[in-house]
Amino acid sequence: MKIGIIGAGAAGLAAAFDLSAKGHKVVVYESAPFIGGQASTIPVGGSPLERGYHHLFTNDKAILDLMADLGVEEAMKWYPSRVGTYTSGKVYKTTTALDLLRFGAIPFLDRIKLGLFALKVGRIKDWRGLEDQTADYWLRERLGGKAYEKVWAPLLKGKFGDFYDQIGMPWFWSKIQTRFASRQGIRGREMLGYPDGSFDTIFSKLKKVIESRDGEIHISTPVVKIEVVDGVPKALLARGADGQHIREEFDTILSTVPSFSFPDLVDLPDDYKKRLTDVHYLAAVVVVLELDRPLTDFYWMNIADPDVPFLGLIEHTNMLPKEWYSGKNILYLTNYLDRTDPLYKMSKDDLLELYLPHLSKFNTEFDRSWITKVHYNALSAAQPIIGTNYSKVIANHRTPLKKLYLANTTQIYPEDRGTNYSFKMGRELAATILYDEKDNWQNWK
């Protein structure tokens, strides 16, 4: 087969890797001038650094398996994480269970209740019984009190904004499952993974292997249309980096574009199209600061305070060696926003001016002279809003058009979207494509 793939992110390249391994010709078109999607990198201090913070949990099996298949498994290293929570005008250490008992922002009995609640959710093995409830309702009813008011309510509102009370409980369940899996030992210290050389180690090896099998990866080449003949997709129409028009025929096409973009590429039946357009995405804006000294002692700072205009503070070099970045301390300031939010439309400089006065809340000695360089990244389709009973409305990977497939983050469920699950989905789609071809498309629904 000759297979066209739209998108050179984790799902697209993972699918291309497996399909090319079976001798099929793959051609990948990517609109951006780089590969890797949300895990793509920029040069910082002479080393690659993700545009948006990235790490692995110990149960991220799909990416570990892929690294083994690529022969780069030894690049993965594991580091102890240090977690803090900012609330009520103060930073609290919340790395271990003992830290939780010392969490003075809420009464002692609420601290006990908070810890027991997390254990209770962690023991739930089947998420299906949670599908008809929102995370906010479940937390209010089952936890409540100051633990809800001071911790989970502001975290939900900070991450999802006006959509905080629409998020299905399986999202919260999956977060707890992942966190518990990464905690080791009696003290419950979280261990997180990060590959030597950044996630670019994986993507660059994927590119090298795919191209060694006669696969093609074209960057700065957006697909503008999927050409359909007699109800079957036959070709991709794209625009090359130099502006030339490209038309290339394929036996099968896999798209990894966001759900709201897919109907712009191809006409779809109303029911399937509705499944796509009903899912709302939040955008992400990330400001990366290079500092000449650390801001805090923590890798990950949860911000449970509505007065702080960003959602998270991730100090990359508090977990990883700053020597990788010429001695600079790397700090991510991250936000999930609706695409209509004024903050999403702000320039890098204006956003920085909004953020900077709040950094002294985490370190009273902070001064803007600590900043040596600023990077900025915005992503329009960062976080899908997944509501209740989502398994009943999720869009099938097999689209209504035979030999046309879709794989994007709205189809990762019940887990939350992430690089590990995108790799997993891409490889599963490769297997589905091969199965369908062998079975002469009789399984299409």
Give the pLDDT confidence of 120-159 residue by residue, as tens digits: 998 898 999 999 999 999 999 999 999 999 999 999 998 9
Return the axis-axis angle of helices 200-212 and 10-21, rounded to nearest 10°: 30
Q: Does the residue 58 lie in any domain?
A: no
Residue 420 has phi, psi (to 5 degrees) of: -55, -45
Residue 284: give the domain boundaries. 280-384
Q: Does the residue 310 lie in any domain?
A: yes
**Rounded distance, CA 76 to CA 64, Å?**
8
Residue 161: CATH number of its domain: 1.10.405
User: Looking at 358, 384, 410, which one is the last position of a domain?
Assistant: 384
Taking only the tens place, the pLDDT of each residue in 25-49 is: 999 999 999 999 999 999 999 999 9
User: Looking at 367, 384, 401, which one is the last position of a domain?
Assistant: 384
Q: Does the residue 183 lie in any domain?
A: yes
Give the per-residue pLDDT at 240: 93
Give the per-residue pLDDT at 348: 94
For residue 197, pLDDT beyond 90:
yes
Q: Does the residue 113 lie in any domain?
A: yes
For residue 246, pLDDT beyond 50:
yes
Taking only the tens place, the pLDDT of each residue in 432-442 is: 999 999 875 55
Q: Does the residue 75 lie in any domain?
A: no
Taking only the tens place, the pLDDT of each residue in 385-411 is: 999 999 999 999 999 999 999 999 999
Residue 243: CATH number of its domain: 3.50.50.60
Position 186 confidence tier, pLDDT thresholds 50, 70, 90:
very low
Same domain for 221 and 168, yes or no, is: no
Taking only the tens place, the pLDDT of each residue in 47-104 is: 999 999 999 999 999 999 999 999 999 999 999 999 999 998 999 999 888 888 899 9
Nearest-CA neighbor of 289 among 198, 199, 370?
A: 370
Residue 181 has phi, psi (to 5 degrees) of: -65, -30
Calculate the CA 62 to chain-centre distance.
14
Same domain for 127 and 251, yes or no, is: no
- Written as one string, the DSSP assignment of 211-274 is HHTT-EEESS--EEEEEEETTEEEEEEEE-TTS-EEEEE-SEEEE-S-TTTHHHHS---HHHHH
Domain count of the chain?
3
Taking only the tens place, the pLDDT of each residue in 280-310 is: 999 999 999 999 999 999 999 999 999 999 9
Q: Does the residue 50 lie in any domain?
A: no
Same domain for 151 and 249, yes or no, is: no
* Prediction pTM value: 0.94
* Residue bearing the bigger pLDDT, 329 or 184: 329
Across 37-51, 168-182, 197-211, 272-286, least confident range: 168-182
Across 28-32, 225-229, 271-275, 341-345, least confident range: 341-345
Q: How large is the average pLDDT for residues 352-369? A: 97
Same domain for 158 and 229, yes or no, is: no
Helix (H, G, I), strand (E, B) or coil at 190: strand
**Rounded distance, CA 165 to CA 174, Å?**
17
357 burial via Cβ count (<10 Å: 0-12, 13-18, 19+): exposed
Same domain for 130 and 253, yes or no, is: no
User: Looking at 347, 362, 384, which one is the last position of a domain?
Assistant: 384
Same domain for 303 and 254, yes or no, is: no
Same domain for 373 and 408, yes or no, is: no
Q: Does the residue 239 lie in any domain?
A: yes
Same domain for 273 and 392, yes or no, is: yes
Residue 293: CATH number of its domain: 3.90.660.20
Handedness of CA 253, 257, 259, 265 (dihedral sign): negative
Give the per-residue pLDDT at 97: 83
Same domain for 185 and 84, yes or no, is: yes
Note whether 362 and 301 are within 8 A (CB). yes
Give the per-residue pLDDT at 169: 95
Q: Does the residue 407 lie in any domain?
A: yes
For residue 444, pLDDT beyond 70:
no
Same domain for 172 and 142, yes or no, is: yes
Give the per-residue pLDDT at 445: 54
Same domain for 210 and 353, yes or no, is: no
Same domain for 133 and 176, yes or no, is: yes
- Give the position of tokens 């090319």: 20
Give the per-residue pLDDT at 69: 98
